[in-house]
Amino acid sequence: MLELHEGLVGDRALARPDTYAGRNLGAYLLWWWPQTYLKVQATLGMVSLPRRPRILDVGSGPAPAAIAAIDLLGGEATCFDASEAALAEARALGIERTTRVLPREGFDLTLAANVLSELPDPLALVRGLQGTVAIVEPALRETGRALLSLRDALLREGWFALAPCFTQAPCPALASARDWCTAEVRWHPPPFFRQLAEATGLRADEMLSFAPLVLGRAAPGSERDLWRVVGVPPAEKGKKRVWICGPEGRLPLVRLDRDRRPRNTPFDELRRGDRVRLHGTERRGDGLRLDPESKIERA
């Protein structure tokens, strides 16, 4: 597990198809499988999707994304991967259709979890996909920023960003080399996972971070005053800021401690990936200000 962690999250030397066999595949099933399951369900939860879709899972590995989607939405899935050993695990977990040749037609929802950053030309792959495309990538800066560049390239070609974005403009996070966009999901893992976390010192037993993106071919409805929380830095003396992203760009939402009121207390609980609706905020030099009269709701 530690070797695979270093090879996927550290130097990324193992981010390639021949990794997914033998003991690396065993480690993947134990440690990453449940994490992908949660991240994919959290990503799909950001959009409204039809029930019982025909699902394609691209770079499925042992199918955590496909199974997460089926559990959430119903439907049936085809798993595509270069690794026959990984596809054998997918079949053992109940996926009937697996293939080593990318199918092109007949899908409503395509999943691509933690695979784009292993491909030489991810844009060429996504361009040819059908239906709604839900992508999850690691929450690393390099892979996260590559995902945002891919988003911008596809939007220029006529795709729409359905989540996490509330804007179809070029991604504002790319304006600064330090920014990218991640969400988080909290969970109570099973005992075996806690034991693995304890034994290895790896941290994934409370909060999982990931970079989500959902793309579609039709424009999403526009809702006013909606923002995505994209960063929650530690509180500062006398005030707290969270980074939010919406049609006006990526900016800090600021509340001074003395302006804390019942109508703005949801601000205290915000996490990356949350949707919020803001009322009565004001633009100031340091960002968008929550005043005593402003209201914030989780949406």
Ligand X SMILES: C[S@@+](CC[C@H](N)C(=O)[O-])C[C@H]1O[C@@H](n2cnc3c(N)ncnc32)[C@H](O)[C@@H]1O
Rounded Cα gap, residues 266 and 274, in angstroms: 11
Q: Over the Cα atoms of the chain, what is R_g?
A: 20
Q: Which is nearer to ligand X, 1 or 119 (CB)?
A: 119
| DSSP summary character for residue 63 | S
For the bound state, the minimum distance from the C-beta of residue 35 to ligand X, rounded and expressed in Å, comes to: 8
Q: Which is nearer to ligand X, 23 or 298 (CB)?
A: 23
For the bound state, the minimum distance from the C-beta of residue 266 to ligand X, rounded and expressed in Å, comes to: 31
CB 110 within 8 A of CB 134: yes
Q: Which is nearer to ligand X, 2 or 235 (CB)?
A: 2
Q: Which is nearer to ligand X, 26 or 249 (CB)?
A: 26
Q: Which residues bind ligand X (CB under 6 A)?
A: 17, 20, 32, 36, 59-61, 64-65, 81-83, 86, 113-115, 118-119
Q: Which is nearer to ligand X, 36 or 110 (CB)?
A: 36
For the bound state, the minimum distance from the C-beta of residue 139 to ligand X, rounded and expressed in Å, comes to: 13
Q: Which two structure tokens, joined as six digits, stand for 219? A: 């424009």
For the bound state, the minimum distance from the C-beta of residue 243 to ligand X, rounded and expressed in Å, comes to: 26
Q: Which two structure tokens, joined as six digits, stand for 260? A: 């804390």
User: Among 221, 239, 215, 231, which residue's Cα sits nearest to residue 271?
Assistant: 231
For the bound state, the minimum distance from the C-beta of residue 63 to ligand X, rounded and expressed in Å, comes to: 8
Whole-Å CA distances, 230 to 31, 297, 299:
26, 16, 15
Tell me which residue has its CB nearest to ligand X: 61
- Residue 62 CB: number of other CB atoms within 10 A? 27
